[in-house]
Chains A and B, each alone.
Chain A
Amino acid sequence: MKLKLALFAVMMFGLTVLTGCEPLTVLDPKGPMAERLASDIMLTMLMMAGIVIAVFAMLLFMLVKYRASNQPADYEPPHIEGNPWVEGILVGIPIIIVAILSVVSVQSNYIVESAPTGYEDKEPLVVYASSSDWKWHFSYPEEGIETVNYLYVPTDRPLEFRLYSHGPITSFWIPQLGGQKYAMNAHVTTLHLAADVEGEYMGRNANFSGEGFAENKFDVTAMSQEEFDEWVDEVKDTADPLTEKKFEELLEPGHLGRMTFTGTHLEFSPAPEHHEKGDKYKDGHEDKKKHDNHSASKKESSEKEHMNHNE
């Protein structure tokens, strides 16, 4: 473990030097999830560097040693079919490497899909993050507030994002806190993150979603729990309530700056969750192509999608 950490540090340093001064975003983690991913990335980089060097060395050796100009004119290369031993080794080593990586990969899969390690005893902050053309809506159901295009989160507490989309498939990504996940129209996906360090981070939609895609990003600020609570109180005191009409306006395609509201749109336009009762989910896609039988029950359709969807 010590060794791995040391190697990790060396590689980080190398990459940092290589690319100027600041570390690459993905390799500059600020939370446990992103840390795990960064260390996976460094581990694979190291192992892969080994393979690349081996291949380069073998190739160079062959090219230098067996070039025609290095050999007598009458040299006739032999006919060699292959050798079970040589081929066995050349299959065996990759199999071992792939096996090791498979173990790491499977472990990491379970780690990123569950609550962050080290925070198990803490209650997660649930945030519904939904995208529309080309904005992000963040609903804090427990706090009863909603923001557009910016996100405040407390540090040292698990964050549970419930993702969905009012339009095309998008991908919710805050590289320094963890990896991305799709936000889709008909159901909710869950992404677990956590922030260890206070600071400002970049968040964006990573999945191409049309004309306004490049600016489809948001600011993330991680702060202490006290500051976060203060902010929530302040919003409740000062912000306007989010009405259904206002929300419909927000869904219109276009860009908006930061916005803050009390209440959430989940109250009148719930997320397409599995067991939600009275789901009168609106897809905000009315401006797109209309089909004749458009008006059939939305609820029924979103449930049907779910049954066919491999979750």
Chain B
Amino acid sequence: MEFFERFAIPHPSIAIYASMVAAGLTLIAVLAGLTYFKKWGYLWREWITTVDHKRIGIMYLISALLMLFRGGVDAIMMRAQLAVPDNKLLDSQHYNEIFTTHGVVMILFMAMPFIIFFMNFVIPLQIGARDVAFPRLNALSFWLFFMGAMLFNISFMVGGSPDAGWTSYFPLADTDSVGTNYYMIAIQIAGIGTLMTGINFMTTILKMRAPGMTLMKMPMFTWSAFIANVIIVFAFPVLTVALAFGTMDQLFGTQFFTLDNGGMAMLWANLFWVWGHPEVYILILPAFGIYSEIISTFSKRNLYGYKSMVASMVLISVLSFVVWAHHFFTMGQGAMANSIFSITTMAIAVPTGVKIFNWILTLWKGKIEFTTPMLYSILFIPLFTLGGVTGVMLAMSAADYQYHNTMFLVAHFHNVIIPGVVFAMLAGLTYYWPKMFGFMLNERIGKWTAWLLSIGFLLAFMPMYVTGLDGQARRMYTYSESTGFGPMNMVSFVGAAIMAIGFVLIVYNIYYSVRYASRDISADPWDARTLEWATHTPVPHYNFAITPEVASSEAYWDYKKKNHELYKGDYEKIHMPNNSGIPFVMSCIFFGWGFSLIFSLWIPAIITTIGIFVCMTLRSFEKDHGHYVSVKEIEDTESELRGA
């Protein structure tokens, strides 16, 4: 292809020009605003160079919310296209790009960072630590994720989006289009960030717990996040390797997944799902952890069956690695292999069932308060159960010959991922909002949102079970009237529109609450049970002036109710890491590196590769031992926060 042709907009349409203009205007507005209000310095000092886990968490949160809307717009466009038979709103190629980017953005650039936001913001507070084990690595993780996401997001304007589905099955993906290059490289960059997050949090949880917090006294969210991070550490290297093979096929003519010369298309499918199936547990386990915290807080009771909760998660994490072939029962691997994967898959239903019953039994003899986070958690139980049982149906490998590749499957995985992960994110967001920003989100709007999302969800996805059983394949950009899929798809569109209103209400709620919510709240507005609520709000950058000592899994509750002493001893100077610009700069270079590779610009690729190594070398020779917070400063901060 000609040099400039490669960068052209691949499928020019009004929608794409409009979104380009919108993106450009937003960018200009942000830059102008920063300049006008003289915030560049503030932004650089307080956010871009920060190594504070709380701020990094909030940056993950903002990115995730932005991506939620990007993926949501894609979803609405797809549902609009399918709402009536023979619709001409989108053409085939455009639809293919949209469902591909929708899948990638939602899983990798929305749900993952949202979960990592919780890990960043909550875990150090929940285990009584001052920061994560490797604060600067944490900043690098975030910026790599962010640059990977941005790189992926410009694909529809520069050169063309991937169009082979979020699974990007070869040999379909193996084409001259730059879309597959975007897929391979953008996900690679973000994935490296995620892998480092996994290592970081595993270490943090193992090494930095407050004195007295044995493993079996860890709060449930920390447990769930710990297991998720172990899964990350085992699963993400597989993705790294698969993407590296794919990249080499695309750029250097190797033949790992091609049709010729020994390439094995199904090798990609296997590698993808060896990572991909555990990936969904990386998302759902921390979500389970969040529900555990919320349900126990608002039942005013300890979590029922703590030990079986932990055991079930450990079991799930092991099983999640031995079920991947259920994603291609239909590839002709034989009755024996299918039977094995069918049984291991169904086995996961047992520990999952244990968890559901434990949550229900946590309500037992409790004193249930229907706050917004609790409302999400309660709606989660029946909705997720529906998704779980359809999962068991899909696990029947012979029957899956009829469900595979149909809307039934699409209904199922949205049915677990929306009530399971998205609702947990929104519940957790509402729950931790006061800890982050010092005011509550409006409860009334919050409950409206929860109900709208639930009703919209049911309308949007239940019809897909029906059309799936009626033979509607997934990823079809249109269908004819004679199929009879029309009415159900219309219902589905209405549901998606109701969900869209729900998501817009979240933004409205934030706006409304920023303006009107009372700032006069305590640091523990929900009367919660775990350590993160024992800190002040806003949380000082060192988290705890005195490291707490823990004697039970509900340290803060027992401090409030049983007079357990949390803080023994006096203020001492605190060692904290220094801010650094290197993670950001290095990630920017990574962005350039990725972009150069995507378009086979070899000279910039070499320069940026050198740049990355220079950053690493600089860091190795840097003498930066952090700084101390003096006792005086701690005393001042603490008395000010207490007075407030």
Contacts and interface: CB of A to CB of B under 8 A. Distances in A.
Interface of A: 18-20, 22, 24-27, 34, 36-38, 40-41, 44-45, 48, 51-52, 55-56, 58-59, 62-63, 66-68, 71, 75-82, 86-87, 90-91, 94-95, 97-98, 101-102, 104-106, 108-113, 163, 167-169, 171, 173, 175, 178-182, 184-186, 189-190, 202, 204, 206-214, 283, 285, 288-289, 291-294, 296, 298, 301, 304-305, 308-311
A95 B393 CA distance: 15
B279 interface: no
A168 B266 CA distance: 11
The 3 closest A-B pairs by CB, nearest first: A179-B401, A189-B332, A108-B398
A167 B342 CA distance: 29
B171 A87 contact: no
Contacts of A304: 262
B340 to A, nearest CB: 9
A109 B265 contact: no
Contacts of A180: 330, 401-402, 404-405
A293 B261 CA distance: 8
A80 B365 contact: yes
A213 B470 contact: no
B307 A82 contact: yes
B261 A94 contact: no
Contact of B399 (A37, A90, A214): A37
Interface in B437-470: 466, 469-470
A308 B264 contact: yes
A56 B484 CA distance: 32
A80 B398 contact: no
Interface residues of B, number: 97
Contact of A25 (B306, B331, B469): B469
14 contacts: A44-B392, A51-B385, A58-B357, A62-B364, A87-B308, A179-B398, A179-B401, A181-B331, A185-B171, A189-B332, A213-B475, A301-B261, A308-B264, A311-B332
Given A179-B330, A208-B172, A94 B396 contact: no
A111 B335 CA distance: 9
Nearest to B312: A91
Contacts of A18: 466
A90 B312 CA distance: 12
B462 to A, nearest CB: 11
Contacts of A305: 262-264
Contacts of A175: 402, 471
Contacts, number: 302
A111 B262 contact: no
Given A36-B398, A51-B385, 19 more contacts: A41-B399, A41-B402, A52-B386, A66-B366, A79-B302, A80-B302, A80-B364, A98-B346, A105-B395, A112-B401, A173-B473, A185-B265, A208-B405, A213-B477, A289-B175, A289-B258, A293-B261, A301-B261, A305-B262
B469 A24 contact: yes
A37 B402 contact: yes
Interface in B244-282: 253, 255, 258-267
Contacts of B382: 52, 55-56, 59
Contact of A105 (B267, B346, B360): B346
A186 B259 contact: yes
B368 A63 contact: yes
B342 to A, nearest CB: 5
B342 A102 contact: yes
A211 B390 contact: no
B470 A26 contact: yes
Interface stretch (B203-211, B348-356, B593-601): B348-356
A108 B401 CA distance: 11
Nearest to B482: A202
A207 B327 CA distance: 12
Interface string B167-197: 0010110111000000000000000000000
A166 B262 CA distance: 16
B168 to A, nearest CB: 11
Contact of A181 (B366, B401, B466, B479): B401
Interface in B336-379: 337-339, 342-343, 346-347, 349-350, 353-354, 356-358, 360-361, 363-370, 378
